[in-house]
Amino acid sequence: METGFFIIFINLYVIAHKIYAIENSNFSNTWNNFTQDSQLLHATYSITIIDNSTGNVTFSFNKDIGLAPASTMKTVTGAAAFHYLGTDYRYKTLLQYSGKVNPFGILNGYIYIVGSGDPSLGSWRWNETKGDIIMQHWISLINGKGIKQCRGIILDLSIWPDQTQTVPDGYPWGGLGNYYATGSSALNWRENQFRIFLLPGSTVGSPVTVTGFENLPQLITFTNELVTGPPGSGDLADVYLAPDSTHGYLRGSLGIDSPKDFSIGAATPNSAIHIADELRQRMNWSKSMPIKIIYQQDVNTTVNRITLDTYQSPPLSEIVYWFEQDSINMYGEVLIKTVAQITNSSTNRVLPLYCYNEHGIEQTAVATRDGSGLSPQNRITTLAIARVLYNIQQRASWFPSFERALPIANGIRMKGGFISNVLSYSGYVNKQVFSIITNNYNGVTSVMRQKIWNLLNTLK
């Protein structure tokens, strides 16, 4: 009797949900209209909606087609990071020295900075991570040991088997010199960014002047090809500067009516060298002092190092919070490398394996080239994203940290993504989990965005 009642109850429940899916006529109408939109005439797009209470897919279109997800990829990266590392994980950076200090303050050894990949080292986002605070602390520790001179600074990047500051293979050249496409290293510094201040000319077409820099790494020079654009044309300025290089190009335009103190963000070509340079300058050490990077194969295990400081990052919950909120691509690359090391896999295998092992998603549905979504070569299905988002809401102990990290846009808790002709959103709305991705839409991005938001509004 009881069992029978239960079955009837479940059936009614299922029927109710089918009816709900069909009878949300606002959604159906808006969706039908959406598919007719001329901006999507040559586009590939996909949507999956999962009901939070049943886990059933209530609506989908092209759910098994892999698309470039842009930054909605960060939902899966954030989930994988919490899963493998935990919300309390902290990166540790060491300040060490070798050798002995003589009575004149001369150290017959080296200062070592040992990286662990901390993406927040020197970041302005937390009081305790600020570059000036960390530098002052390290200088006081070095002074405290009576060290006035040393043989050089050694940057120990041995934590990761691969080389120094690497940019994922799939990042486009058009992005590389800009703040959002900076590489990541075992030693990141000030989010691997510096600022370039620009002043437009007095007529359209005249040159733009570089008026200054903030946190400019040593030895960087630019060829400035920027021109003044018409009023209202804004910031169309790009930085072309390759990883590890010292010469770059400024190209594009800056609107004639841009504010006086206008600046653009550029990518530091080698963040480990930048941190050592800054320490050297602040210690008033000579420009000719050797600065050396060592990798795993270079570590001399017979050298005795004394640890002056073990600097700890904020917990991973905080790092993932800013990763999702401000879509910091470099954080994603570091998280993927950290997980790759712990799980003994390659960076491109981290997300396919996480989706397969923890969520039963076929590995072929997830083909990643980075952890941020910046590479146009990434592919994932909306079903895979929605399934991960549904599962973690149901069963992950760290879900509250994840949910808090997701931004709220258009009144919906969701992560958005944008790269050239790609717009995407994934998140939670009114007891539903959704993921929508558009690739190769045409026309104005803000107009396309509003159409997607109008569609999502019907799920509220």
- Interface residues with ligand NAG (CB under 6 A)? 14, 24, 26, 29-30, 33, 37, 52, 54-56, 127, 139, 283-284, 300, 302-303, 344, 393-394, 428, 431, 451
C-beta of 190 vs 379, nearer to ligand NAG: 190
C-beta of 20 vs 230, nearer to ligand NAG: 20
Distance CA 367, CA 365 (A): 7
φ, ψ of residue 408 to 5 degrees: the values are -110, 120
Q: Give the shortest CB-284-to-ligand NAG separation in angstroms.
A: 4
Q: Give the shortest CB-370-to-ligand NAG separation in angstroms.
A: 21
Residue type, 357: N
Asked whether 452 and 70 are in contact (CB, 8 A), the reply is: no
C-beta of 223 vs 281, nearer to ligand NAG: 281
Distance CA 179, CA 173 (A): 13
Q: Give the shortest CB-143-to-ligand NAG separation in angstroms.
A: 6
The owner of tokens 């570091």 is 334
% helix, strand, coil for the chain, step of 5:
35, 25, 40
Q: Name all contacts of 390-393 with Cβ < 8 Å and 24+ positions apart.
A: 390/50, 390/52, 390/55, 390/433, 391/358, 391/359, 392/79, 393/52, 393/428, 393/433
Distance CA 312, CA 120 (A): 10
Q: Give the shortest CB-199-to-ligand NAG separation in angstroms.
A: 30
Q: Give the shortest CB-276-to-ligand NAG separation in angstroms.
A: 15
Q: Give the shortest CB-9-to-ligand NAG separation in angstroms.
A: 11
C-beta of 29 vs 296, nearer to ligand NAG: 29
Q: Print burial letters for 300-333: b (CB count within 10 Å at least 16), e (below 16).
A: eeeeebeebbebebbbbbbbbbbbbeebbbbbbb
Q: Give the shortest CB-455-to-ligand NAG separation in angstroms.
A: 8
φ, ψ of residue 307 to 5 degrees: the values are -85, 125
Q: Give the shortest CB-316-to-ligand NAG separation in angstroms.
A: 18
Distance CA 208, CA 200 (A): 5
Q: Which string of DSSP letters, residue by residue, matches 391-452?
A: HHHHH-TTHHHHHHHS-EETTEEEEEEEETTEEEEEEEETTEEEEEEEES--S-HHHHHHHH
As a whole number of Å, the CA-based R_g of the chain is 25
C-beta of 172 vs 290, nearer to ligand NAG: 290
Residue type, 162: D
C-beta of 56 vs 149, nearer to ligand NAG: 56
C-beta of 12 vs 236, nearer to ligand NAG: 12
- Report the DSSP pairing between strands 247-255 and 227-229: parallel
C-beta of 31 vs 213, nearer to ligand NAG: 31
Q: Give the shortest CB-264-to-ligand NAG separation in angstroms.
A: 27
- Report the DSSP pairing between strands 247-255 and 235-240: antiparallel
C-beta of 288 vs 300, nearer to ligand NAG: 300
The beta strand positions in 110-192, using DSSP E, are 110-114, 152-156
Q: Give the shortest CB-428-to-ligand NAG separation in angstroms.
A: 6
Distance CA 33, CA 26 (A): 11
C-beta of 379 vs 415, nearer to ligand NAG: 415
